[in-house]
Structure 1
Amino acid sequence: MLVLTRKPNESLMVGDDIEIQILGIEGDQVKLGIKAPKYIDIHRKEIYLSIQQENNQAANTSLSNNLLESLKSLKKQ
């Protein structure tokens, strides 16, 4: 893990096109501003993990498993 020290209004760059700026520090909270291309999804980690879990559950439903088996049987024909 890379650890950097930044002050309010200072930034850091991730690659060539993602900028993370420290907007302010209030108590134990840090406010961040993120500039990134629209095609890059940005989520809080707990939301990201929830999306991943829902995607995994959807991929493992009986409907998707039945569809996958049906497609496999069509390929064998």
Structure 2
Amino acid sequence: MLILTRKAGESLYLGDNIKVTVLKVQGNQVKLGFDIPDDLTVYREEVYLRIKEENLMAVQANEQDFLMATKIWSRKQEE
């Protein structure tokens, strides 16, 4: 993990297209501003993890459906 120290009003760049600016530091909260390309999606960590979990569940469901369909098809071929 890269650790940087920035003060309010200071910025850093991630690559050429993403600028992160520290807007305000108050207690244990930091307010950040992001200048990002329009086609880049940004998620809070808890939202991102939930999306990953739901996508994994969807893939598993699809695999189970495929296996069930294969079993049904195999039975029909035997008949």
TM-score by length of 1: 0.79
Q: Shift of residue 69 of structure 1?
A: 7.4
CA distance in 1, matches of 2:38, 2:53: 24
In the alignment, structure 1 residue 32 sits paired with structure 2 residue 32: yes
Q: How many residues align?
A: 70
Q: Shift of residue 38 of structure 1?
A: 1.5
CA distance in 2, matches of 1:27, 1:58: 41
Q: Shift of residue 7 of structure 1?
A: 0.4
Secondary structure of the structure 1 residue equivalent to 2:52: helix
TM-score by length of 2: 0.77
Secondary structure of the structure 2 residue equivalent to 1:31: strand
Whose radius of gyration is greater, 1 or 2? 2
| Structure having the larger proportion of residues in helix | 2
Question: Which residue is equivalent to 1:42?
Answer: 42
Q: Can you give the 5+ residue segments of structure 2 that lack an aligned partner in the other structure?
A: 74-79
Question: Which residue is equivalent to 2:57?
Answer: 57
CA distance in 2, matches of 1:50, 1:29: 23
Following TM superposition, the consecutive aligned residue runs of length 4 or more in structure 1 with deviations greater than 3 angstroms are 67-70
CA distance in 2, matches of 1:2, 1:49: 21
